[in-house]
Amino acid sequence: MTTRTLRGKVAVVGVGETPYYKHGQSPEPEFKLALQAILAACADAGIDPRRIDGFASYSNDRNDPSRIAAALGLPALRFSNMNWGGGGGGGSAAMGNAAAAVACGMANCVVVFRALAQGQFQRFGAAPPGGTASGEPAFNAPYGVMSPAQRYAMRAMRFLHENRIAPSAQRAIALASYHHAQANPRAVMHGRPLTAEAYDASRWIVEPWRLFDCCQENDGAAALIVVPADEARDFKHKPAYLLASAQGSEHRNGARVHNAPLYATSSFTSVAPQLYEMAGLKPKDVDVVQSYENFTGGVLMSLVEHGFFTAEEANDFLTPENLQAPSGKLPLNTSGGNLAECYMHGLELQIEAVRQVRGQSTAQVPKADVSMVISGPMVTPVSSMILGSEATL
């Protein structure tokens, strides 16, 4: 019987992004930002945009694939897909969905994209506007639990308390991201280094998170191009092959009124094993990780649930030196991540994972053959993916 897997079936051959702006300050509308990122990815791959025949996105992206196809002059649109969920948990899932379409022949050249222009629409980090609430907000809002930081702080607080994890562990994650951003001229926080003293002096947002534990809010767009693996060598750059993609959530994870059975998790306890099974790898095989930071506590929990260390080892493992490229034990968020490069709803992490495999990162890890992305801790559904060089096939 043929094994059903995406491992080695597709590759990323082009990546593109717009400049990144502070939320609400983009000079362009969201749709134009999406087109700019897609055209940049085509230029990176060295292809005519009319070669594209599919699109995949996530988190209720507002940019309709049929409209994009018309704007780009595509001969035909063969595939369009949206991953459910309102957070960044769909970033790696969108890559997996695009890969599935290419691997089974539904499309041949699929763009994964995400665009945000918060000046046109709602600010992401704020409580939702309006005088009525339904679903989860109807339970939470009467008690003042409305913003993302408020909603997720309690889960992280439980995890940190139960495992006696010190504030220094979250601080190390923030310091590593800002350290890497200083080498990355694309990063919004390039030229704005962070010290441990400045971190400790920053204001509380909601305990256990200070200002520098929280992601930025940005406008812009990012895009990646996925093609069949047997065509991947025909493009301008070294291919980054998809070794695995997994998505989903835990038992009753959708019980989002703070009563899920597994409360103090980042939602990856069932997803991470699926990821490693498809990739045929173990945590020790991963050379570099890009982990979505909505908040540093979510990164910490995600790294534990992906097996890089136990909760009991977190205080000793999570030091700036261990997380910094090129020589750390686990180089993390090497472009600056959501904290210090930009918040393109996490899709900039996929681009950085590709750059690491290509050897083009501004904080390059030597011989980065296996590059992981973890998307959207504590939301539901969540997803992860692993990219590899040709040597891993």
Phi, psi of 41 (to 5 degrees): -65, -40
Any residues with CB less than 8 A from the CB of 294 and at least 6 apart, and which?
Answer: 87, 88, 148, 152, 214, 215, 338, 376, 377, 378, 379
> Which residues are registered as beta bridge partners of 22?
218
292 classed as catalytic: yes
- In angstroms, the CA 388 to CA 393 distance is 8
Closest CA to 331 of 341, 345, 320: 320
Residue 245 near residue 58, CB atoms below 8 Å: no
Q: Give the containing element (helix H, strand E) for 36.
A: helix 30-45
According to DSSP, residue 212 is labeled G
> Coil, strand, or helix at residue 322?
helix
Of the CA atoms within 13 Å of residue 227, those in its CB half-sphere come to: 19
**73 CB-contact burial (10 Å; exposed 0-12 / middle 13-18 / buried 19+):** exposed
- In angstroms, the CA 184 to CA 283 distance is 27
Residue 184 near residue 363, CB atoms below 8 Å: yes
Q: What are the structure tokens assigned to 378, written together? A: 């504590």
> Which residues are registered as beta bridge partners of 322?
none
178 classed as catalytic: no
C-alpha angle 101-105-109 in degrees, rounded to nearest 5: 65
For residues 178, 180, 184 and 187, what is the CA-based torsion angle, rounded to 10 degrees? -30
Name the one residue in this structure whose structure tokens are 């501004």. 362
Any residues with CB less than 8 A from the CB of 22 and at least 6 apart, and which?
Answer: 188, 216, 217, 218, 219
Any residues with CB less than 8 A from the CB of 250 and at least 6 apart, and which?
Answer: 260, 261, 262, 265, 267, 269, 270
Q: Report which residue type is found at 393.
A: L
Runs of H (alpha helix) within 91-182? 91-103, 136-140, 148-162, 167-181
Instruction: Supply the residues annotated as catalytic.
Output: 292, 343
